[in-house]
Structure formats: C-alpha cells, structure tokens
Amino acid sequence: MTLQVLLIDSYDSFTFNLVTLFRDLTVHPEITVVPSAHLTPAYVSSHLFPALLAKFDVIVIGPGPGTPLQEDSDMGGIPHVWRAIDKYYAGSYRWVPPVVFGVCLGFQWILLAYGHPVVRLPRPRHGLISVLDVTEEGKNDLFAGLDGKDIECVRYHSLHVQYDNDFAGNNDIVPLAWSRDENEEGQKVLMAARHKTRPYWAVQYHPESICSKYGAQMLENVFRLSEEHTRLRRQWINKVLEQDHLPLLKASILERQDVLETFLQGRQHRCKILHKWPHQSANRLETRDRQADIATTTLFQYIVDLPENVNISQFVTELCEQVFEFSGVFSLLESAAAPGSWSYMGFNEAIPHRFTYYIPDPFLTETSTLQPQVWTVDSIDDVWELLASVIDVNISQVVQVGCGPNNTDTRISFDQLKEIVRRSRESGLDELPSFYGGLVGYVSYEAGVVDGLNVPVDHESPAEVPDIDMTFYTRSIAVNHNSRRVFIHTFEEQNFVAIYRSWILRVAECIEMLPEVRRAKGRPAKERVGAAIAKFNDKKIPGDIRLPDKDEYLAKIDLAKEYLASGDSYELCVTDQTVVIEKGSLHDGSGDSNISFKEMRSDWAFYKQMKAMNPAPYSCFFRSKKSALIGMSPERFLRWDNNLGECELRPIKGTVKRTSKTTLEEATAKLKTPKEQAENLMIVDLIRHDVAQFCENVEVTQLMGIETYKNVYQLVSVIKGTNMRPGVTGADILRGTLPPGSMTGAPKKRSVEILQELEGHRRRGIYSGVSGYWDIMGHGDWSVVIRSAFSVGGQGTDVERIWKIGAGGAITALSDREEEWEEMKTKLEGTLRVFQNV
C-alpha cells in the first residue's frame, strides 16, 4: 500500500518544493496538498474528519507566513486539526495517530502546543545558511547516518522557539539539533526536535531549499523510524472497520470517503488548463468559427543570409524603420545584448488585430476592424481562453519561397516544420526561430496578482492602461544574431496568397537596400525611399519630472522591515514610480483610428536612445492606441516550448552599479555577500515551487551566476522545468507563476498583500508585469518589465502625455535603507536618462 501524505499549505511559496522532496524519496508517497484555510472548525469537528485521519499516514504541517501566536489569521485550520488529533488520540476510540512532521511554521506550532514560547529572533534569518549542531539523540534519530558531516540548512524565519521544559511544564519534546550561530544571535536556536513518545518530528529550517543539504536523508529517517508505527496503525484501522460496535466511526471512514475525495480533489497542483472558447450563451456575443476561417491557411517563409560583418543592432533598427513605411505600426522584441540571440518583429495590416482587457471589466475588446468587437467575460479565465482560441491557428502547409532550384517554391506540411524545429531545440541548437507569428504584448502586474494569486486589486485605483494588451501578428521577421540569418514569415487565408507572398518579397528587397547591408557588402549607400521616416530624431519634450520622495521611500523600507521581523514575509520588493510629463500635441491629423506618425516617431526615438545607453537581452518596443512600452529588461521571466514540454526562468536579484572604476572582481565580492545571495536564493526557491506545480522535474541549472551588462553587474539564476504535467501548456505556467516573484518577494501571496499597503494601493500597471510573445508553434518568451518606461494618456490629442518609470529593490532583514535608496536610483537612472532633454 502506497504511503499517503497530507501536506497542509499555509500559502507559502515553498510548499511544492516540499512536495518534490517527498516525492523523490524511496518510499514514493502519494501527496495531497490542502490549504490550511480549507480545514475549517466545522469540517474538523464533523464526522468527516475521522475519514481524513484514516486516509493519511502522515500529516505535514508546512511553512508559511505569520506567527503561531495568531491562530485565526495566520494558522488557518492547523490548530483545529492538531486539537482533533490530540482528542482522538486520548478519546474513547484510542486512535493510533498519524505521523506528524512540521516545517518552520509547523515546527513553531507543534512546540508551542507543548508549552514552549515562540518569540522574535534578535535578527531575522531569511535565506541565510547555518550549520546544524546535532545532539546525541539526533545522531541516532532524525540525522542518523550523517554523523561527521556539515549539515548546512537554509533558514527562513524571524521567530524562534525558546526551548524551556520548566516553562512548558513537561519534558515531552526532545531537542535533535541546534544552530551554530551563537555568536551572531547571542544563543543557540533550536532547529530540530521530536516528541518523546509520539511519532511527531519537526524542523525549524527548510530542508527543501536548493541550498539545504541532506534533506532527503533526513526525511528517509522519518519514514524509517515511523515504519512500525504506520504498520500498527493500519492494522488498527482495519480492525475498526471489522467491528460492528463502532458504527459511527466505521461510517465516517467508509461512507464519507466520497465526500472526502470531493473535498481533496484538484489540490495536488493548481493548473488552469487552457482550451478553445468553450461555450456560448445569451449574454455573450457569438464567437466566430475560427477554425472555419483559417482552414486553408498557409505559412510562407523566406530566408535571407546577411554579410558576416553586418552590425546586427544597426540592421534591426534600419529594418524596423524601413518596413514601417509600407506596413505600419510594429512591435519589436530585440536581443540588444547577450545572452539573448534573437530579435523578432511583428507587423500587421493597417488596422491591427488587438485584444485589450481592463480589470475588473466584464468584457474584452477585440479591434480588428473599424468597429471594435466586445466579448463578454465572466472572469479573467475567459480572457485567456479566448486568447488561446486565437492562437490555435490551423495551418495546412508551409511554402518556403524561393528555396528550390531556380528560386522555385518548395512545400512541406506544418507538422513537418514543427518536427524540424522540435529536433533542433532538442539537440540544443539555436538555429531556428521561436516566433513564426502569434500574439505579442504584455500582461500587467495587477493581472498577475488577480489571476496568479487570486488577490483582488483596489477598484478605487483605476487602470491607466489595459491590464492585458496583445496584438495578433500574421507577418513577422526573425533575426538570428549569431548566424546572421533573417527569417521572414506571413500567413493568412488562401485567397490572399498573392498579396502576402508579395509582402515577403518586398521585405527581402528592402533588406538588400538597407544602408547597413550595403556597407557590409562594400556598396555605397543609396538615398532611402520615404526619407521622412528616416529622420527619427531625438525629441526634446517640454514638461517636468516627478521623482520619488526619499523620505517616503525610506519610510516604506522601515515598515517593510517590520513586516519581515514579525514573520509576515521573508523578502519584500518595494517599488516607486517616477513620472515624466510630456506636454504639447503629437496629433498630426491622421485620424483617431490610427497611431499618428509623430507619436510613433517620438516613441521610437526614445527606444533608440534607451538601446544606445543601456542595451539589454530582452528589449521591447510595443505601441498601441492606449499606450507605448519601451524597455531594456535584463531579466527573462519565462520561456516555454510546448513541443518539448519544458520551460526556463532567469530571475535576477542582486545589483551592483558598473562604472569605469568597478572591476568584475570587486562586483563579485559585493554580490557574493550573504545579503545579496539571500535575495537571490529566496526567489530561486520561490520559482522552483511555482514551476513544480506544472512540471514533473525542476532543475537549477545556474545558481547565482554573475552577468555583466553595460551599466550594472547582476546576480542571475536559471531554473528549468521539464516534463510538463498532462494537459499543461506554457500559457498555464505563465498564468500560474505571475506576478514575477523577483518583483514581489516571498511568500508571494502575503508579500503582495503587504506591498499593496506599502505602496498605497496604487497600481504598478505594466511595470513589474511581463512582455513577450505567444507563438502559433507552441513557444513563448516573456521578460519582466523593468528598466522600462510606459506612457499613459494624451495619444492623438492636445493634452499632456505621461510616461511612468518604475524602480525598486528587494528589502530583506539585512538591507540598509540608504543603500536600498541608492540601488533604486541606480536602476532608475538607466531609464530616466532617455528623457534627459526634459
């Protein structure tokens, strides 16, 4: 019989790392995760609870924010479960209790229940590593087989247990290990303990952290030591089921199992599976039959090889400007610096096929004609389902233009192309694009808060820009920076083949005429057609800048540190916004239905300045009627490949300003301090937890590597998830991991709630959200919107337009308020310099 484990989740951001640790043990237990808030007093006191105790061999009280001293608000249903176990243990039925294992908050609760006080540490220990001082009892118990080894453990706690038998009035708890941090904390801190006679174990540290050692061996010892107890307990339960004089208990265990399964189902992982638009109703506009519309769609591909000495950055800029002249507004996702190696441009017809959604509106707007369509939505789930149906394009064939003898077209099936791309990815090559067309845009921070965490946002603070803004592109250009190969793509219905094929050839001709290409081929540059668009000059804008107030920012840091000390959070990413007011008209009489030439030119000039000053691997230029987004993000949030069933995240935590006097060695010394590494470690553990809900395997392929950018040095980790669970897509992972943990802190849900209070319930908007693409081939790549600026208001009118620039930093117990202010300014300056002419 498989060992059954119930893990009570207190909404921590490391819970599923525990699931992974338990799952990989030799006993291979079956694990069910239930939120502590679901275990209500009514449920625990009902006749259903015996069925719960009978079903599970082990109950794990997991970590979480808060304190065991506040039962109702922080502990959820844990106290009720604990008291029920004790009641049944001592009651007339003489229950043989399940094994209990506590971690962090669970450790504190168990020892508090036996009378040992829980108090604040002199200084919180968040993301910091200690070495265990194992007792003689521990060497033969929880840490058997580890004698003589340095057992390093990661700690996330600001409270600790004062072990005191006299105060407790009993000696039921046996210490198994202490910390060795006496010099720093003034006393040893209890790190592991067990009950003297019952099968209860608990640890204060986090054995599931990526930097904790021997966590699996320690848990193997738990199951080894409790094996006989579990065997006897199962015999007792079977005996109860055979006895007719215990009808109530027997009925609770047997007849209520169906109710119990209903209560527990769906909690093993929180996947929101996307599928086609599922239904129609009287209050919903009829959805068009998208499959019928695109049943004969063909994907056209044309490949151009650039000269070896071409400047790719300059080439991408010139290509965007030139194609804009005959294709209109575009989006650009550019690798302006390593480690990025691709740039993608999306183009469309004069009227873009755009989807916009504002929280909490009950509708999504689709703009693909002069008259926008409005789709009724019940929740943000419906928004994502509609987007999923849009991306589900049925391409029948791929025409490779001019790839055969005498420049003839060749044809393959779409499935053949997908298989070629899949094999290339599987072999580790980066030769083929990941974007062949699809959705490009952004998801705001608030959309992630509502969708990923189910945390409401203040409706009194309205959204200034859409919370989801994505454009569906049927024409795209992909540039490989390493091979210097350009891929031109377009797809549409069969009766438009001639038009779309001619667009591809026009882009190819345009490439040959670009000044950078002609220079690389040793040819003289020619006067460009449409010279007006070539004059993308820097724009001097009248207006002013409103910077964050230092005293207010420092006050937020102080309050954040109080939340860290109270146990509510381990890390809080405090942010603020700078406002740049651009006054004067940008309207050129082109009509309200289009983005004016002057608006586009102005925004593009800002982007080019930003790229010249602070190039980054995940740069973006996105322009809609509602807003403009220009960014030089160094941080990939999520890349996925549905065909391989894998994803990758690259969180950044730890920043040192790069100057002419700062060497890599000096930056490394600053970034290898406990404070900087703790910041990064907490987010790595958080992301491992997020991804583990959707992928069977999660691996940290780079832990706290140092990467060099033009203006900063960064501490970067890489987390890879493989073997997506059945039915899971990359879009599910995107939704389930938002908002980015590097922009919130940990535990994520409680940290977001605290940050809403600290930041006055003001919306962050696009800042701290993600931007990127969702491709028709099953790929996606999204970056965190940082080192960026976005505009609100004033498009196409005579009123002022406002640019917003967000910046901030992770606050930990080791943070220095003045240093955090300086770090925030360092991040802000890189973007603010774009507007230096204000």
pLDDT tens by residue, 483-505: 999 999 998 765 555 666 788 88
For residue 827, tell me if it sits in a domain: yes
Question: For residue 285, is it within any domain?
Answer: no
Closest alpha carbon to 573 in 818, 815, 213, 321: 815
Q: Are residues 248 and 357 in the same domain?
A: no
**Shared domain check, 468 and 573:** yes
Q: Over pLDDT 90: what percentage of the chain? A: 56
Q: Which of 80, 104, 211, 321 is catalytic?
A: 104
Look at residue 202 in the predicted model and tell me its pLDDT. 97
pLDDT tens digit string along 91-112?
555 567 889 999 999 999 999 9
Q: Which of 264, 279, 310 is the endpoint of a domain?
A: 264
Domain interval for residue 594: 290-835
Would residue 719 count as lying in a domain? yes
**Residue 807, pLDDT score:** 95
Question: Would you give the DSSP letter of residue 207?
Answer: T
pLDDT of residue 748: 94
Beta pairing partners, 174 = 194
pLDDT of the residue at 620: 96
**Are residues 159 and 230 both part of a single domain?**
yes
Identify the band that residue 179 occupies on the pLDDT scale cut at 50, 70 and 90: very high
For strands 438-443 and 363-367, give the pairing: unpaired
How far is the CA of 169 from the CAs of 79, 172, 191, 495, 722, in angstroms?
Answer: 20, 9, 21, 86, 51
Q: Yes or no: say if 18 and 208 are a contact pair by the CB < 8 Å rule.
A: yes
CA 30 from centre of chain: 27
Q: Distance (Å, rounded) from C-alpha 257 to C-alpha 246? A: 17
Rounded to whole angstroms, how far apart are CA atoms 623 and 339? 25
Q: Which of 80, 116, 206, 779 is catalytic?
A: 206
Kindly report the number of other CB atoms within 10 A of residue 86's CB atom.
Answer: 14
For residue 737, is it within any domain?
Answer: yes
DSSP states of 427-474 as a string?
A: TT---S-S-SSEEEEEE-HHHHHHHHH-----TTS--SS-SEEEEEES
CA distance 379 to 279: 14
Q: Tell me, yes or no, whether 256 and 331 share the same domain.
A: no
Q: Is 206 a catalytic residue?
A: yes
The span from the CA of 128 to the CA of 211, in Å, is 9
- Listed residue (681, 701, 698, 680) closest to 689, CA to CA: 698
Angle formed by the axes of helices 445-453 and 730-737, to 10°? Answer: 100
pLDDT at 278: 31
> What Rg do the C-alpha atoms of the chain give, in angstroms?
29
Q: Please say if the pLDDT value at position 477 is more than 70.
A: yes
Where among 221, 247, 264 does a domain terminate?
264
Same domain, 407 and 550: yes
pLDDT mean over 655-667: 82
Residue 538 lies in a domain: yes
pLDDT tier, 437 (very low <50, low <70, confident <90, very high otherwise) = very high
DSSP annotation string for 710-761: SSEEEEEEEEEEEEEPTT--HHHHHHHHPSPGGGTEESHHHHHHHHHHHTTT
Residue 208 known to be catalytic: yes
- Same domain? For 358 and 437 the reply is yes
| CATH code: domain of residue 545 | 3.60.120.10
Average of pLDDT values for 72-80?
86
CATH number at residue 11: 3.40.50.880
Binned at pLDDT 50, 70 and 90, residue 381 comes out as very high
Q: Is the pLDDT of residue 586 over 60?
A: no
> Does 407 share its domain with 521?
yes
Ranking 116-125, 276-285, 386-395 by mean pLDDT, the lowest is 276-285
Residue 334 is assigned to a structural domain of this protein: yes
Q: What is the pLDDT of residue 527?
A: 54
Domain count, the chain: 2
Q: Which amino acid is it at 832?
A: L
| Same-domain status, 454 and 377 | yes
Residue bearing tokens 């993600």: 770
Q: Within this chain, do residues 526 and 633 fall inside the same structural domain, yes or no?
A: yes
Distance CA 518, CA 306 (A): 10
- Above 50 in pLDDT, residue 644? yes
Determine whether 283 is exposed, middle or buried from the number of CB atoms within 10 Å of its CB (0-12, 13-18, 19+).
exposed
One domain, residues 495 and 545: yes
Return the pLDDT at 535: 45
pLDDT at residue number 258: 52
pLDDT the model gives residue 588: 41
Q: Which of 126, 157, 208, 679 is catalytic?
A: 208
State the chain's mean pLDDT as an integer.
84
pLDDT above 90 for 668: no
**Parallel, antiparallel, or unpaired for β 618-623 and 628-633?**
antiparallel
Mapped to the 3 state alphabet, what secondary structure does 160-197 carry? EECCCHHHHCCCCEEEEEEECCHHHHCCCCEEEEEECC
pLDDT band of residue 829 (cuts 50, 70, 90) is confident
The percent of residues above 70 in pLDDT, for the chain, comes to 84
Q: For residue 282, is it within any domain?
A: no
Token pair recorded at residue 464: 């200034």
pLDDT at 247: 53
In a domain, 275, yes or no: no
User: Same domain for 767 and 672?
Assistant: yes
Q: Which two tokens stand for residue 656?
A: 């040192």
* Model pLDDT, residue 461: 76
Residue type, 619: S
Task: HSE, CB side, 13 Å, CA atoms: give it for residue 122.
Answer: 9
275 in active site: no
Residues 587, 439, single domain; the answer is yes
Among 579, 586, 593, 550, residue whose Cα is nearest residue 349: 593
Got the DSSP string for 81-143? HHHHHHHHHHSTT---PPEEEEETHHHHHHHHHTT--EEEEEEEEEEEEEEEEE-HHHHTTTT
Q: Which residues contact 175 (CB under 8 A, 6 or more apart)?
A: 135, 137, 138, 163, 190, 192, 193
User: Which residues, in sequence order, are bridge partners of residue 472?
Assistant: 353, 439
Handedness of CA 656, 682, 453, 761 (dihedral sign): negative
pLDDT single digits (tens) 240-278:
767 654 555 555 544 445 545 555 554 333 333 333 223
| 324-361 burial: b if 16+ Cβ within 10 Å, else e | beebbbbbbbbbbbeebebbbbbbbeeebbbbbbbbee
Could you give the CA distance from residue 67 to residue 14 in angstroms, rounded to a whole number? 17
Last residue of a domain, one of 264, 280, 315: 264
